Amino acid sequence: MTLASISEKVNAGIPLSFDDGLTLFREPDLLKLGGLANQAREQLHCDRTTFNRNLHINPTNLCVAGCQLCSFSRRSPDQPGAYTLGLSQAWDKLKARLDSGDPVTEVHVVGGLNDSLPFDYYLELVAGLKRLQPTLHIKAFSAVEIVHFHHHFQREVGEVLRRLRAAGLDSLPGGGAEIFAPRVRQRICPNKCDAEEWLDVHRTAHQMGLRSNCTMLYGTIETIEERVEHLLRLRALQDETGGFQAFIPLAFHPDNNALSHLPAPSAVDDLRVCAVARLVLHNIPHIKAYWVSLGIKTAQTALWFGADDLDGTVQEEKIYHLAGSDAPQALAPMEIVRLIRAAGRTPVERDTLYRVVAEGEALQARTCASPTGGPR
């Protein structure tokens, strides 16, 4: 298997095999790999690069999972830094953003597996956010949290999703997939749901008409075979349901966690994962360069290595920042637009479902109209 033969398959629209994936990960010429991924990216999206205006709310960091890779969670309320937001505190974060005049279109809610909170807390959290802005898209609760609700509240996954949806849930984020290989999960997140459960939550959500994203955490102890297998399992579910909108490669950050002896993945690895994902996941429309995880400069470079989306303005991301991310807490829309233009790409503001909110002159006007261009 060579890059040339893989290129032929990509051009012919033939899905890449497990061996193709390994070849791509082993390709020593990063620029050749990037060029091929860029070709695939431009065939799908030309120069267009999307972002949205979103707000992150992490309602609690109390978590029973105790994952080795996590810098965010606390096991007990007595530990320094442990917190659980009251409902009003969580809603106030959105209210403050709306009151500032920023036209946020999405709230992204993920948190720890807190076994002291009732299910009503989550239902009311979502309902209250929706009440503040009924047109807002609520993307909330990773599959890991949904599985926790299923076990802890003894309700079927479908019922959990139906009740959350009735409260205002619009889609699911893609976190918690980590690496599907049991060998790795057993070592870095032994108490988290397994691959089958993670995939089943997304399958169920897709069957209900909810969209979701998917992720892969790389850079801990996984092999490239385990990375490729992970990607192929995501691709298989996408073939079945078509419900994934974006794949988000998540770089492991070693600060402040039990794996801090490991080096952070290199930028070459970051770009390689992005490029391979674009080529292997031909059926997932978008590859997101999550700037909080990659850092701004690497995320910008990734726009030439397969990625076509930069996530959003974010504001108040805690999980990666506690793990040592040196990216800012938020980017103003104006800064994201500038970042995209400086990469020679065309910025497009989207909503969570990748519908265009503004582009061209309308985007310019909307960006300039935001107070200080948005959050900082």
Binding residues for other proteins, per CB under 8 A?
28, 30-32, 34-35, 38, 42, 47, 254-256, 260-261, 263, 266-268, 270-271, 294-301, 303-304, 324, 326, 328, 334-335, 337-339, 341-344
Q: How far apart are the C-alpha atoms of 65 and 239, rounded to whole Å?
A: 31
Q: Phi and psi for 344 in degrees, rounded to 5?
A: 75, 20
E strands, the chain, are 48-52, 54-57, 106-109, 137-140, 171-172, 211-218, 244-251, 286-287, 309-312, 346-350, 356-359
Q: Phi and psi for 349 in degrees, rounded to 5?
A: -85, 130
**Cα–Cα distances in Å, from 95 out to 104, 117, 136, 192?**
11, 23, 12, 33
CB closer to other proteins, 189 vs 337: 337
Cβ atoms 214, 175 nearer than 8 A: no
CB closer to other proteins, 179 vs 323: 323
DSSP string, 7-64: HHHHHHTPPP-HHHHHHHHH-S-HHHHHHHHHHHHHHHHTTEEEEE-EEEE--B-B-S
Q: Give the residue from 293, 92, 54 showing the smallest Cα distance to 171.
A: 54
Q: Give the residue from 358, 329, 376 showing the smallest Cα distance to 367.
A: 358
Q: How far is the CB of 334 from other proteins (least distance, A)?
A: 8
**Cα–Cα distances in Å, from 161 out to 33, 76, 141, 201, 367?**
39, 27, 10, 9, 35
Could you give the 3-state DSSP secondary structure of residue 140?
strand
Beta bridge partners of 309: 50, 288
The region that residue 53 occupies, defined by phi over 0 for left and psi between -120 and 50 for alpha, beta otherwise, is beta
CA atoms lying within 13 Å on the CB side of residue 235: 20
Q: How far is the CB of 326 from other proteins (least distance, A)?
A: 5
CB closer to other proteins, 11 vs 89: 11
CB closer to other proteins, 144 vs 322: 322
Cβ atoms 347, 363 nearer than 8 A: yes
Q: How far is the CB of 29 from other proteins (least distance, A)?
A: 8
Q: How far is the CB of 184 from other proteins (least distance, A)?
A: 21
Q: How far is the CB of 28 from other proteins (least distance, A)?
A: 7
CB closer to other proteins, 195 vs 358: 358
CB closer to other proteins, 47 vs 316: 47
Q: How far is the CB of 30 from other proteins (least distance, A)?
A: 6
CA 6 to chain centre: 27
Q: How far is the CB of 256 from other proteins (least distance, A)?
A: 5
CB closer to other proteins, 48 vs 139: 48
CB closer to other proteins, 123 vs 224: 224
CA 156 to chain centre: 25
* Residue 5: both structure tokens together: 């033969």
Q: How far is the CB of 339 from other proteins (least distance, A)?
A: 4
CB closer to other proteins, 80 vs 134: 80
Q: How far is the CB of 241 from other proteins (least distance, A)?
A: 34
Q: How far is the CB of 180 from other proteins (least distance, A)?
A: 26
CB closer to other proteins, 62 vs 296: 296
